A and B are shown apart, each in its own frame.
Chain A
Amino acid sequence: MVKKISQKVYVGLVMIFLYAPILVLIVLSFNKSKSRSKWGGFTLDWYKSLFQNEEIMSALYTTLIIAFLSALIATVIGTAASIGINHMRKVPKTILMGITNIPMLNADIVTGISLMLLFVAVNFTLGFKSVLIAHITFNIPYVILSVMPKLKQTNKNTYEAALDLGASPISAFFKVVLPDILPGVFSGFLLAFTMSLDDFIITHFTRGAAVNTLSTKIYAETRKGIKPEMYALSTLLFLSVLILLILINRRNDSIEKKRNSVALAPSK
């Protein structure tokens, strides 16, 4: 009993540690005072002025577009690559998985610098496209590492059976293989999207002066003081994701319940 309680307390403490700064930021978004360290009363002003602040809105737009496109492209390339790698023999497979691990294990600062050196060397203007390419590059490994385990679990015979029954390789892929690995593909996409959204270091080195994501904008503001609208925006972002996740969870739960009740009452 004591053990159970102390376990719960421990989990609770770690959760407080992980979520305390988020709570601080949410509170700051309602703070009337512009200073971070003073509480000046409750206000919703920052939420109103947020939508009039064109700089923040355009940074948000850039951030979301880059996150979405880079996650999407990385998911397509990464899923195809996983299938290819899965069909390779051991040596090329090991080499490729080793290369896949480089951007995950290497320091972000080195990845950022190396890409910047490449872009400058080939006279590729630093800007939206260079950031997008950089994000795709560090996102692909997350997709591969999410899809690979699912691929290993799939039964190869089902694909062969589909071919034997006259399906073309493409339709066999979409009807048989893809549904099996879809959870992995989806979590890879989600992970890639989140990583892209949260990235600062690689963007910092590969962006031109004209492009700002939320991260680079916040970094530029750290010295002069963060605009309170930023807190409001991140609160909105965080809460919308939280609600979305709760809804998805609820839906999954109710689907499961329905399935269970159907299974329990087969007489109907």
Chain B
Amino acid sequence: MSNQEESKVTTAEATVTLVKKSHRFSGKSLLSFPYILWMGAFIIIPLIMVVYYGLTSKTSNGFTLENLKLIADPINQRALFLSLKLSLISTLVCLLLAYPLALILKSMKLKSNSFVVLVMILPMWMNFLLRTIAWQNILENNGIINTVLKALNLPTINIINTPTAIVLGMVYNFLPFMILPIYNTLAKVDDNVINAARDLGANSFTTFRKIIFPLSIPGVISGITMVFVPSLTTFVISNILGGSKIVLIGNVIEQQFQKVGNWHAGSGLSLVLMVFILISMAILAKYDKETEGTNVW
């Protein structure tokens, strides 16, 4: 047994120079080996393949930028700008809806915050495509909202197959991902800190501005990324709630793969999309120097 332990440690030292020799439990780091291999094979290598496909083409040898230049095509450009616009709007709406809710939930002093998590996660047990389709029922011209409006003799609304419906679908689908991280960071804020601020004469707005909000920034950042990225790249919500006329960048990429069959073009556009994701994260990281990774989940 001890021999085995020793040999494990020596292989660890041989293979991972990262592990300190004197570390008493260096053998334990080996436990993450299957994970490292898995992520290498199924995260890193596939991403490299997207880069490779995006920078090559069927017709010409060697590397080319032609797939990336596809984004300049007017249709693709419009799709990208619309995606950026709609995802920014829905991220903002999510933030404005989620933050007060998280504050209220904190003030309720629930016994355990697992209850909040459950309430937010529970809808996911009904398939998200079906839930989005149900919004068709609610928003349609003869849908639930309009039936109610008609019964009350109020003017009807016409939002199905418009960008508004897509934003609503995005907000609906991704709101829990904004609420949970913000609530989790707020729940950790010590009440004594808030009380101390109040004792020292800060009014509730100042307390919020100087104490509560700064402490919740990691949650806000995490929430923004978890709403912005899926909104920016969705093709399902726009398909279901936007009709066939509204094309987002996600739809363009999906069609390159599933309909057109030009994987090089699809990968190239994905690369452009990833650049936008990276830019947004770099901007957010500026506001989030302290936290290492997103530990709010």
Interface residues of A (CB under 8 A from B): 7, 10-11, 14-15, 17-22, 24-25, 28, 36-37, 77-78, 80-85, 87-89, 91-92, 94, 96-111, 113-118, 121, 133-134, 136-137, 140, 142, 144-146, 148-149, 168-169, 187, 191, 194-195, 197-198, 200-201, 205, 214-215, 218-219, 222, 226, 230-231, 234, 237-238, 241-242, 245, 249
Asked if B288 lies at the interface with its beta carbon under 8 angstroms from chain A, I say no
| CA gap between A133 and B27 in the complex, in Å | 27
B123 & A149 in contact (Cβ 8 Å cutoff): no
A24 & B225 in contact (Cβ 8 Å cutoff): no
Asked if B85 lies at the interface with its beta carbon under 8 angstroms from chain A, I say no
Chain A residues, Cβ within 8 Å of B132: 21
B121 & A191 in contact (Cβ 8 Å cutoff): yes
Chain A residues, Cβ within 8 Å of B49: 114, 117-118, 121
Chain B nearest CB: distance from A237 CB in Å?
6
| CA gap between A201 and B297 in the complex, in Å | 22
Q: Mark B269-280, 1 if CB is under 8 A from A, else 0.
A: 010011001000
A198 & B43 in contact (Cβ 8 Å cutoff): no
| CA gap between A144 and B36 in the complex, in Å | 13
A97 & B293 in contact (Cβ 8 Å cutoff): yes
Chain B residues, Cβ within 8 Å of A115: 42, 46
Can you name 17 A-B pairs with beta carbons within 8 Å? A11-B101, A21-B172, A24-B144, A25-B134, A77-B34, A77-B35, A81-B36, A82-B32, A109-B250, A117-B263, A140-B35, A168-B1, A194-B125, A195-B124, A201-B235, A218-B129, A237-B125
B131 & A22 in contact (Cβ 8 Å cutoff): yes
Kindly report which residue of chain B lies nearest to residue A214, judged by CB atoms: B127
Partner of B240, one of A94, A98, A222, A249: A222
Partner of A83, one of B31, B36, B125, B134: B31
Kindly report which residue of chain A lies nearest to residue B175, judged by CB atoms: A18
List CB contacts (< 8 Å) of B135-158 with chain A. Answer: 135-138, 140, 142-144
Chain A residues, Cβ within 8 Å of B282: none
| CA gap between A217 and B122 in the complex, in Å | 21
Kindly report which residue of chain B lies nearest to residue A144, judged by CB atoms: B35
Chain B nearest CB: distance from A161 CB in Å?
14
Given A21-B138, A117-B50, A241-B125, residue A107 in contact with residue B26 (CB < 8 A): no
B277 & A226 in contact (Cβ 8 Å cutoff): no
A234 & B130 in contact (Cβ 8 Å cutoff): yes
| CA gap between A167 and B172 in the complex, in Å | 51
Known: A96-B32, A137-B39, A168-B1. 17 other contacts (CB 8 A): A21-B131, A37-B142, A83-B32, A84-B29, A89-B19, A94-B292, A97-B292, A101-B293, A102-B43, A105-B281, A109-B253, A110-B270, A187-B117, A198-B125, A198-B128, A215-B129, A234-B127
Asked if B107 lies at the interface with its beta carbon under 8 angstroms from chain A, I say yes
Asked if B13 lies at the interface with its beta carbon under 8 angstroms from chain A, I say no
Kindly report which residue of chain B lies nearest to residue A183, judged by CB atoms: B114
Chain B residues, Cβ within 8 Å of A78: 35
| CA gap between A142 and B226 in the complex, in Å | 13
Partner of B137, one of A24, A144, A194: A24
B142 & A105 in contact (Cβ 8 Å cutoff): no
Chain B nearest CB: distance from A11 CB in Å?
6
A100 & B39 in contact (Cβ 8 Å cutoff): yes
B143 & A37 in contact (Cβ 8 Å cutoff): yes
| CA gap between A35 and B138 in the complex, in Å | 14
Given A24-B138, A105-B229, A109-B254, residue A218 in contact with residue B43 (CB < 8 A): no
Chain A residues, Cβ within 8 Å of B140: 37
Asked if B216 lies at the interface with its beta carbon under 8 angstroms from chain A, I say no
Chain B residues, Cβ within 8 Å of A133: 42
Chain A nearest CB: distance from B294 CB in Å?
6
Partner of B134, one of A21, A101, A109, A194: A21
Chain B residues, Cβ within 8 Å of A10: 100-101, 104
Asked if B176 lies at the interface with its beta carbon under 8 angstroms from chain A, I say yes
| CA gap between A100 and B30 in the complex, in Å | 17
Chain B nearest CB: distance from A81 CB in Å?
3
A137 & B38 in contact (Cβ 8 Å cutoff): yes
Asked if B196 lies at the interface with its beta carbon under 8 angstroms from chain A, I say no
Chain B nearest CB: distance from A114 CB in Å?
3
Chain A residues, Cβ within 8 Å of B122: 238, 241-242, 245
| CA gap between A38 and B102 in the complex, in Å | 38
Chain B nearest CB: distance from A139 CB in Å?
11
Chain B nearest CB: distance from A43 CB in Å?
18
Q: Mark B14-42, 1 if CB is under 8 A from A, else 0.
A: 00101110010111111111111011001
Pick the most buried of A15, A83, A146, A242: most chain B CB atoms within 10 A of its CB.
A83
Asked if B119 lies at the interface with its beta carbon under 8 angstroms from chain A, I say yes
A117 & B53 in contact (Cβ 8 Å cutoff): yes
A107 & B50 in contact (Cβ 8 Å cutoff): no
Partner of B295, one of A109, A149, A245: A149
Given A17-B172, A97-B292, residue A219 in contact with residue B50 (CB < 8 A): no
| CA gap between A7 and B100 in the complex, in Å | 9
| CA gap between A105 and B130 in the complex, in Å | 24
